[in-house]
């Protein structure tokens, strides 16, 4: 170890795995945003809470910033290390620690992949219902850091609703066991909920107690084609009134175009403006057929497919879940916004007009989670445009969106977090008084400002690592 700070870390924690090869720095220093050039000091891969605590104490003494790291599937730059930080990867802390049947709790280490959590829950005849497309790579610790939402929020809520307890190593090196799996706990501030969504700025989540629930008896999946967004909202309300919806996801014809160009089979011979993939509890396709018939009769849908097998259900889901991957080659600039469910049609209509008028040279792809008011707005890079110009112009697009969101009482980040990408727009969603309180909370957990500095909001002027 040529860096004396790393030599000291190895002396303090001789068993700690450290990586310093340039390929490792490049791999662990970035997330799915490809905008920053990774340049961490090194990668630490702790195997225990004691090692994490040792790293945090060392970082305080040496004034080294830490970037907690899970599956690095984030889309807001929250796990980027571009300024000589030590990346603390939780990938070796990826085990189930216990299952408590009476409490229906699964205790896991934070580096466990979401999909592995799903499997572990199923092994006990239960489900952990938070779910989204990056399930195979993202980690539960990262899900906690951004309060990840996904495709089942309409039925089950966000990550925060399923975290019954968590263990945190704070920025000052204390180990806190927050809420310890209790259902009821009326004993003051719920620090666990502060940590969820804090994007690693308060400390490093090392373990979590996850609530599990009964699996649905069986489910049906339908793809619907719709003539307008207004019809789509009516379909949502009608289906929600009659069925137990566990997902109601929408995408536009542009999104379908890109997924099809990426290899998926087009579901219909004709093009329609909007599509919905919906899933609901039920053990017979008759309910789906009946619901579809009623919607067709009311002219709210124009076409549809009801999955007849698991394979067909997976193919229909792929049309929605494959969008992110299909768009990746166009280097999209991502926006992940939310407004109240009822405000979506006006927000969407106004914003489509605004973007079409101000940025006619951009292709904008819309999709998202209707049941919880979360819209993904991906702006694709025109091939001929320089990346730096594109990013600059997209910043102005986001400023426009932020203004519109402010008018509609919405949020600039629904489920991806603020990170580096959305930091300039935080004030459109949070008042100055709120941000000041957040900074104060951050200082209370992390007085030296070593935890993921410059993410969420700018670090204080005396930050250990310059912005």
Q: Is 318 in the site for ligand 2HG (CB under 6 A)?
A: no
Q: Which C-beta is closer to ligand 2HG: that of 179 or that of 324? A: 324
CB of 347 to ligand 2HG, least distance (A): 17
Contact flag: residue 334 with ligand 2HG (CB under 6 A) = yes
Closest separation in Å from C-beta 211 to ligand 2HG: 22
The region that residue 179 occupies, defined by phi over 0 for left and psi between -120 and 50 for alpha, beta otherwise, is left
Residue nearest to ligand 2HG (CB): 324
Based on CB atoms, which residue is closest to ligand 2HG, 149 or 449? 149
Q: Rounded to the nearest whole angstrom, what is the least distance from the CB of residue 446 to ligand 2HG in the complex?
A: 28
Instruction: Answer for the pair 148, 159: CB distance below 8 angstroms, yes or no.
Output: yes
The DSSP letter of residue 78 is T
Distance from C-alpha of 404 to C-alpha of 412, rounded to nearest angstrom: 10
C-beta closer to ligand 2HG: residue 93 or 326: 326
Choosing from 30, 152, 376, 442, the residue that interacts with ligand 2HG (CB under 6 A) is: 376
Q: Please say whether the beta carbons of 94 and 109 come within 8 A.
A: yes
Structure tokens at 453: 């500095």
Q: What is the DSSP letter of 158?
A: -
Neighbouring CB atoms inside 10 A of 273's CB total: 15
DSSP state of 20: -
List all residues 6 or more positions away from 209 whose beta carbon is below 8 Å from its beta carbon.
Answer: 105, 106, 107, 163, 164, 165, 166, 179, 180, 181
What is the helix (H) or strand (E) element at residue 194, kind and residue range? helix 191-195
Contacts of ligand 2HG in 18-47 (CB under 6 A): none
Q: How far is the CB of 413 from ligand 2HG (least distance, A)?
A: 11
| Min dist. Cβ of residue 60 to ligand 2HG (A) | 34
Q: Is 429 in the site for ligand 2HG (CB under 6 A)?
A: no
DSSP codes, 383-446: TTS-HHHHHHHHHHHHHHHHHHHHHHT-BSBSSS--TTTTGGGGGGTS-HHHHHHHHHHHHHH-
Q: Which is nearer to ligand 2HG, 46 or 70 (by Cβ)?
A: 70
Q: Rule CB under 6 A: is residue 378 a binding residue for ligand 2HG?
A: yes
**Residue of the chain from 158, 324, 338, 452 that contacts ligand 2HG (CB under 6 A):** 324
**Residue nearer to ligand 2HG on the CB measure, 109 or 324:** 324
Q: How far is the CB of 290 from ligand 2HG (least distance, A)?
A: 29
Kind and range of the H or E element at 284?
Answer: none
Q: Where in 107-146 is the site for ligand 2HG (CB under 6 A)?
A: 132-133
Smallest distance, ligand 2HG to C-beta of residue 151, A: 7
Q: Is there binding between residue 147 and ligand 2HG (CB under 6 A)?
A: no
* Closer CB to ligand 2HG, 146 or 167, in the complex: 146
Tokens 């379908």 belong to 256
Number of residues in contact with ligand 2HG under rule CB under 6 A:
6
Beta strands in 90-174 (DSSP E): 96-100, 105-109, 163-170
CB of 159 to ligand 2HG, least distance (A): 13
Quick note: the x/- pattern for ligand 2HG over 238-277, rule CB under 6 A, is: ----------------------------------------
| Rounded CA Rg of the chain | 23
Helix axis angle, 4-12 to 49-62, nearest 10°: 140
Beta carbons of 411 and 429 less than 8 angstroms apart = yes
Residues that bind ligand 2HG (CB under 6 A): 132-133, 324, 334, 376, 378
């Amino acid at each position: 170890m040529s860096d004396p700070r790393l030599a000291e870390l190895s002396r303090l924690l001789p068993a700690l795995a450290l990586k310093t090869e340039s390929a490792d720095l490049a791999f662990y220093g970035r997330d799915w945003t490809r905008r920053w050039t990774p340049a961490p000091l090194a990668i630490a891969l702790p195997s225990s809470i004691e090692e994490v605590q040792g790293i945090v104490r060392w970082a305080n003494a040496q004034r080294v910033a830490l970037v907690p790291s899970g599956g690095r599937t984030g889309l807001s730059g929250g796990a980027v290390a571009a300024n000589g930080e030590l990346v603390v990867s939780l990938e070796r802390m990826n085990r189930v620690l216990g299952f408590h049947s009476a409490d229906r709790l699964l205790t896991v280490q934070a580096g466990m992949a979401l999909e592995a959590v799903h499997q572990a829950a199923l092994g006990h005849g239960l489900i952990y219902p938070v779910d989204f497309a990056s399930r195979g790579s993202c980690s539960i610790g990262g899900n906690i850091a951004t309060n990840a939402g996904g495709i089942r929020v309409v039925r089950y809520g966000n990550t925060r609703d399923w975290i019954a307890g968590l263990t945190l190593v704070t920025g000052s090196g204390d180990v806190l066991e927050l809420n310890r799996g209790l259902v009821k706990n009326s004993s003051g501030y719920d620090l666990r909920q502060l940590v969820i969504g804090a994007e690693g700025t308060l400390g490093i989540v090392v373990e979590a107690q996850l609530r599990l629930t009964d699996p649905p008896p069986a489910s049906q999946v339908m793809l619907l084609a719709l003539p307008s967004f207004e019809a789509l909202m009516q379909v949502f309300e009608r289906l929600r009134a009659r069925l137990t919806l566990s997902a109601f996801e929408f995408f536009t014809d542009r999104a379908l175009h890109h997924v099809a160009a990426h290899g998926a089979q087009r579901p219909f011979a004709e093009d329609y403006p909007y599509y919905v993939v919906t899933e609901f509890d039920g053990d017979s396709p008759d309910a789906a057929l009946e619901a579809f018939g009623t919607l067709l009769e009311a002219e709210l849908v124009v076409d549809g497919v009801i999955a007849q097998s698991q394979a067909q259900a997976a193919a229909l889901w792929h049309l929605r879940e494959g969008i992110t991957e299909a768009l990746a080659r166009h280097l999209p600039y991502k926006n992940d916004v939310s407004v109240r469910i009822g405000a979506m049609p006006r927000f969407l209509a106004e914003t489509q007009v605004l973007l079409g008028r101000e940025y006619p040279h951009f292709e904008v792809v819309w999709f998202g989670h209707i049941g919880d008011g979360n819209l993904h707005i991906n702006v694709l890079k025109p091939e001929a445009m320089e990346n730096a110009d594109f990013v600059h112009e997209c910043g102005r697009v986001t400023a426009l969106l932020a203004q519109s969101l402010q008018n509609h009482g919405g949020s600039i980040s629904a489920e991806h977090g603020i990170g580096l990408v959305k930091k300039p727009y935080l004030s459109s969603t949070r008042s100055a008084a709120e941000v000041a309180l957040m900074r104060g909370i951050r200082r209370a957990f992390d007085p030296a400002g070593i935890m993921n500095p410059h993410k969420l909001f700018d670090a204080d002027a005396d930050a250990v690592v310059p912005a």
